[in-house]
Chain A
Amino acid sequence: MNAESPPTRQVGLVELFTGFLLIGMLGFGGIAASAQYVIVERNRWLDQREFVELFGVCSILPGGNFLNATVMLGDRYQGPLGSVVGLCALLLAPLLILIAIAKGYQAYAHLPDVEAAVAGSAAAAAGLIIGTSARMIRGLERSWASLFFGMLTFIAIGLLRVPLPWVVGLIVPASIAAALYRARRRAAHAKAKEGSAGE
């Protein structure tokens, strides 16, 4: 799916706006679920396969996954204006709610209970991130390269507090190069097997 192939139906600016607005409003705890609901089930902008593909491409680009997907999807239907409308609609409700929460926090932060609740929430949020990434380990390719680059990143960023550009500039290309190499080797092995099997 890309912005050049003709979409299967027309989606106007208003529909884009309301769709992304809804995704933003329903996105408590994360927008993956509300995005899936609005894009695939409710508005049928993409089918499941296209949706997964879109996320796949967006996952390798800098920036928030879904923010990138919004830009691409908006462009597909209404060009650059569609991208802008999509982004603004997506962020509108969350930003307003965020400001309300922040102002409320500011107003009541001095109360000991509120302080304790936020401190507990922060501790939990940290654990949340740790737990989620631990789950993601299961989905990783089982290779020494994965282990090496993952640990290297964790040590560099988490323990040594190296600036991010170093990691992105050095570790990412190395890891991708290693992955490409592994892929080529696997392809070569598969070909060799085919060859010998035919004899």
Chain B
Amino acid sequence: MSILVQLGLTFLGVAFFSIGGASALIPEFYRQVVAVRGWMSDADFAHMVALAQVAPGPNMLIVSLIGWRVAGIPGLLVSTAAIVGPPSLIAFGVGRALDRLKGANWLAAAKAGLAPVVVGLMMASGLVTAQAANISALPWLITAGSALFMYLARRNPLWVIAGGAVLGVAASRLGWM
């Protein structure tokens, strides 16, 4: 099976279960791309996560980056289309049916039911990314520091990532990492 078909099928598969957005899907992306398919290493995957955060636009573009890494521009296009396609069709249908679906209780209950699951998914994403990225003790300090900073002070995520980059370079130069 051509690599493009594999890419397409992999991300189509995830697309139908893609609740909570890209940040919640990282464990599944990891599972498919690294564990099941072996398309890249742990470290490479973690680096993709960081690069995708730095780039503007929806975080779902991590999929585009993975596709590019696996199969160049065609790979990028196939993965992006695969992850965006099914949910877009669903959103299109729901958007048109919104009047008929207008049950205020339904929406509130769905949100209340999904919220803890999405939070659980995101926490898991953070853990999976950290485990893939951090091969020694020091990076875990960076992870912990970033988590604390983000929890306490609500700043643009780019500052956190930039800080991590600077600390990474400093630590590496000092021989700590």
Residue ranges of A at the interface with B (Cβ–Cβ < 8 Å): 1-5, 24-31, 56-69, 71-72, 75-76, 80, 83, 87, 90-91, 93-95, 97-99, 101-102, 105, 112-113, 115-137, 139-141, 145-147, 149-154, 157-159, 161, 163-165, 167-169, 171-172, 175-180, 182-183
Contact = CB atoms under 8 A, between A and B. Distances in A.
Contact of A57 (B25, B27, B98): B98
Contacts of A175: 113-114, 116-117
A151 B57 contact: no
B164 A125 contact: yes
B14 interface: yes
Given A117-B169, A131-B151, A137 B119 contact: yes
A163 B28 contact: yes
Contact of B119 (A133, A145, A182): A133
Contacts of B16: 62
Interface of B: 14-19, 21-23, 25-28, 31, 35, 43, 46-47, 49-61, 64-65, 68-69, 73, 76, 80, 83-84, 86-88, 90-92, 94-99, 105, 107-130, 132-134, 139-140, 142-151, 154, 156-158, 160-169, 171-173, 177
Contacts of B21: 63-65
A147 B43 CA distance: 32
Given A58-B91, A61-B90, A130 B127 contact: yes
Contacts of A176: 109-110, 112-114
A83 B92 contact: yes
A126 B133 contact: yes
Contact of B171 (A116, A122, A180): A116
B111 A56 contact: yes
Given A1-B98, A94-B58, A178-B113, A123 B87 contact: no
Interface SS, A side: helix
Contacts of A120: 139, 142, 164-169, 171, 177
Contacts of A71: 88, 91-92, 95
7 contacts: A25-B56, A62-B87, A124-B167, A126-B134, A131-B149, A132-B122, A133-B122
B116 A153 contact: yes
A124 B111 contact: no
A125 B73 CA distance: 25
Contacts of B59: 30, 64
